[in-house]
Amino acid sequence: MITIPETDLVVHELCLGTNVFGWSADEAQSHAVLDAYRAHGGNFVDTADMYSAWKEGNVGGESETIIGKWMKKNGNRDQMVVATKVAKLPTRPGLSPANIIAACNDSLKRLQTDHIDIYYAHHDDQEVPIEESLGAFAQLIGEGKVRYIAASQYTGARLQLALDISARENLPSYIALQDQYNLVSRNPFETEQQPVLAANNISAIPFYGLARGFLSGKYREGKVVESVRAEGVKEFATPKGYAILALMDQIAEANNCSVSAVSLAWLRSNPNLSAPIASARTVEQLEEIVQVVDLDQSQIDALNAVSA
């Protein structure tokens, strides 16, 4: 277990992504994955009000509803750290104060809880002054509905600006950044965002830790994979991508762990990262990503070199 910097939140080393809940995993499958994650000591789930509005017939909020039912059924809300997001649900877009307040109340109902542990601005809404959005977050924190706030998909410069405004105006401050970061997509995180995190003693909680599944090892040269995410991994299916996988195979064998666990272990080796996010559609997939291993420095150096 680790403590997220600038908070008192103690979380498992894997944050369970739940964007597949209500999409490629139905409620029963999702609850089975949550049960398995909890059996491994997992306590940190990441969702959003927009999950999974993109599926035909869905309206958004399906993932939150599934999580809420699971926590209610198990009576374990106090044992969980729940992160959700505002700004991208088609019916609740943006970071205007009124929308933040309304969206939060909607999420609380779906999650069947009275508070959200980490509430993310899901994207940088540059049409709304940052201080106005932070003011709405301040109201929610004051009401006890939100414990901490964080930023998703902010550039390094915009994140620093938001942190500066928080300090100047005595407003709540973002305690983490969520963006894409993995062995096949190292920048702009390392070049632009990580220096801001280091300078402000806050951390990354990155998504796409497995590059939409490419770094799980199931995508191989010449192999066709039947998956709703298959189209999204084509950009990684390059000679460099396959070279990274080949090295990960060797490291996984040496550490007696899954290829997914190697990818997530490399992420955890970054001092400016707390817990990587990865999702699982099935219990079998969960078992692969929940393994926490420590790579030795030579393995980390080799992965850095092949993915540079």
Domains of the chain: 2-307 (3.20.20.100)
Mean pLDDT of the chain: 96
Nearest in space to 84 (alpha carbons), one of 124, 55, 44 = 44
Nearest in space to 87 (alpha carbons), one of 167, 153, 180 = 153
Lookup: tokens for 274: 């707390």
Angle, helix 297-307 to helix 259-268, in steps of 10 degrees: 100
Nearest in space to 269 (alpha carbons), one of 283, 255, 280 = 255
Task: Please tell me the number of Cα atoms within 13 Å of 82 on its side-chain side.
Answer: 29
Confidence at residue 226, expressed as pLDDT on a 0 to 100 scale: 63
Average pLDDT for 284-291:
96
Residue type, position 223, single letter: K
Contact 5, 175 (CB under 8 A): yes
CA distances from 20 to 38, 99, 141 (A): 17, 25, 29
φ/ψ of 295, rounded to 5, equals -85, 150
How do residues 263-275 score in pLDDT, each as one tens digit?
999 999 999 999 9
Is 227's pLDDT higher than 70? Answer: no
Contact 141, 104 (CB under 8 A): no
Confidence at residue 223, expressed as pLDDT on a 0 to 100 scale: 61
Is 224's pLDDT higher than 80? Answer: no
Nearest in space to 280 (alpha carbons), one of 34, 38, 27, 2 = 34
Lookup: tokens for 134: 């932070």
Catalytic residues: 51
Average pLDDT for 167-184:
98
Residue type, position 105, single letter: N
**Residue 220 binned pLDDT confidence (cut-offs 50, 70, 90):** confident
Percent of the chain topping pLDDT 70: 97
**Residue 303 binned pLDDT confidence (cut-offs 50, 70, 90):** very high
Average pLDDT for 4-30:
98
C-alpha torsion sign, points 184, 188, 190, 191:
positive
Percent of the chain topping pLDDT 90: 93
Please give the sequence-ordered ranges of beta strands (E in DSSP) within 98-152, or none if there are none: 116-121, 146-152
The DSSP secondary-structure symbol of 193 reads I
Q: How far apart are CA 155 and CA 161, in angstroms?
A: 10
Is 230's pLDDT higher than 70? Answer: no
Lookup: tokens for 172: 């709540």
Nearest in space to 18 (alpha carbons), one of 71, 113, 86, 82 = 82
Confidence at residue 225, expressed as pLDDT on a 0 to 100 scale: 59
Contact 230, 300 (CB under 8 A): no
Contact 227, 20 (CB under 8 A): no
Is 34's pLDDT higher than 90? Answer: yes
How do residues 99-116 score in pLDDT, each as one tens digit?
999 999 999 999 999 999
Choice between 194 and 219, residue whose per-residue pLDDT is larger: 194
Confidence at residue 234, expressed as pLDDT on a 0 to 100 scale: 80
How many other C-beta atoms lie within 10 A of the C-beta of residue 192? 14
Is 207's pLDDT higher than 80? Answer: yes
Nearest in space to 163 (alpha carbons), one of 6, 4, 2, 3 = 6
